[in-house]
């Protein structure tokens, strides 16, 4: 099994989407990218921890490739927005790929560059950060499988 970590706004929608991908073994909502130890939602929500709402994806590379996960990531949000997605704003909602290996870094960078050159965003610059994965802090239990428990209308989708 391999791990991938993504931030694309509200983690509820991101988690639910990746759970539907064949070859994904598990998805956890949580926080990463900052330096605040053992953050909770109330800490991260302030925007002062440096952490982003993120998902940690465990996947079977014999069933789904990292490149396929990147395609899902790019499709489910607007990577040109800086520190926001839809109605959610602040650095905790930024677009980021947290790579676990040099190979993931290279693939993430190549996919970002390909998307930027595609003109899909008509001259807008992709703002997605591609940074090393740090410690991942699992979100509170009520955030796990949130949309499954509460329905899609809870995340504005």
* Strand pairing report for 52-59 and 137-138: unpaired
Q: How far apart are the first and last CA of the chain?
A: 31
10 is catalytic: yes
Query: Residue 29 in contact with residue 17, Cβ under 8 Å?
Result: no
Count of CB atoms situated within 10 Å of the CB of 78: 16
- DSSP per residue over 123-141, as a string? TPPP--EEEE----EEPPG
**Of 10, 56, 57, 72, which is the active-site residue?**
10
Q: How many helices (H) and strands (E) does the chain have?
A: 5, 8
Positions marked catalytic: 10
């Amino acid at each position: 099994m391999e791990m991938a970590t993504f931030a694309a706004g509200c983690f509820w929608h991101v988690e639910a989407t990746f759970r539907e991908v064949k070859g994904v073994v598990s998805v956890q909502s949580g926080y990463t990218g900052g330096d605040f130890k053992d953050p909770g939602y109330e800490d991260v929500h302030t925007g002062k921890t440096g952490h982003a709402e993120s998902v940690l994806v465990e996947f079977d590379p014999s069933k789904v490739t990292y490149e396929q996960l990147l395609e899902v990531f790019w499709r489910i949000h607007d990577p040109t927005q800086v520190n926001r997605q839809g109605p959610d704003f602040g650095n905790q909602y930024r677009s980021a790929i947290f790579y676990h290996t040099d190979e993931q870094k290279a693939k993430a960078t190549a996919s970002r560059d390909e998307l930027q050159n595609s003109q899909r965003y008509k001259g807008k610059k992709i703002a997605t950060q591609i940074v090393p994965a740090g410690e991942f802090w699992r979100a509170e239990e009520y955030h796990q499988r949130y949309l499954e428990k509460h329905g899609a209308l809870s995340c504005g989708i």
